[in-house]
Amino acid sequence: MKLDQLIESILYFKGEPLSKKELAKILEITQETLEEALVSLSQKLEGRGIVLVKSDSEVSLGTSPESSEIIEKFKKEDLEKDLGKAGLETLTIVAYKGPIGRNTIDNIRGVNSSFILRNLMIRGLVERVSDPKDQRAFLYKPTLDLLKYLGIEKVEDLPEYANVISKLEEITAESKEAENKPDSEKEPEEKDGGQEQN
């Protein structure tokens, strides 16, 4: 696969801005080579529904300006829809544990949460801030609008706050413990007929 195609795949998977420095490190290439590949990708995306959005330090995929009118309609529909189980689950984690990184949210939920977080940000319920410990990463936290909507002054006023925090800490600890286990200690994966329970 060509370098520009790899970059497109990575940015699509991430679903959020990625620093050029981190992208170069992942791909094991120089900044100069990365810039050349970004120019190539930008040219290949011309006339399509997706564009490459760049700043001095970050890069991401976005929708083309020509599609803004129809995208706004979809945004409106998203705002009018129910959050759904996945949305409520993600919103709960961010509300109780925020500021929190996407990787931690994914570990707690067991699935990729990029698109759910995007929808929550569109609705103005969640906001993204820079991680003070790692300027290349982002953290998610509840917005003031969410607190207003819930009729509370601070996150500590959320129902069963201490209890829920404790449960989330347990899940996070178990997830990290499972990740650090040697392969020989991990449970064998189910085969034939093992289905996910909802």
Give the model confidence (pLDDT) of 22-39 as tens digits: 899 999 999 999 999 999
pLDDT value at 186 more than 50: no
pLDDT value at 121 more than 70: yes
pLDDT value at 162 more than 70: yes
pLDDT at 9: 93
pLDDT at 196: 38
Q: Looking at residue 181, what DSSP letter applies?
A: S
Q: Which of 5-9, 168-172, 182-186, 192-196 has the lowest mean pLDDT?
A: 192-196
Place 119 in a pLDDT band, splitting at 50, 70 and 90: confident
Place of tokens 């990740």: 179
pLDDT value at 100 more than 70: yes
Distances (CA, A) of 122 to 78, 143, 180: 8, 12, 35
* Type of residue at 10: I
| Domains of the chain with CATH codes | 3-66 (1.10.10.10), 82-181 (1.10.10.10)
Place 180 in a pLDDT band, splitting at 50, 70 and 90: low
Mean pLDDT throughout 172-197? 49
pLDDT at 65: 78
The predicted-structure confidence for 54-92, as pLDDT tens digits, reads as follows 877 888 888 887 877 777 676 666 555 667 888 888 998
Q: Looking at residue 138, what DSSP letter applies?
A: E
β-partners of residue 54 are 59
CA nearest 29: which of 4, 59, 8? Answer: 4
- Average pLDDT taken over every residue of the chain: 80
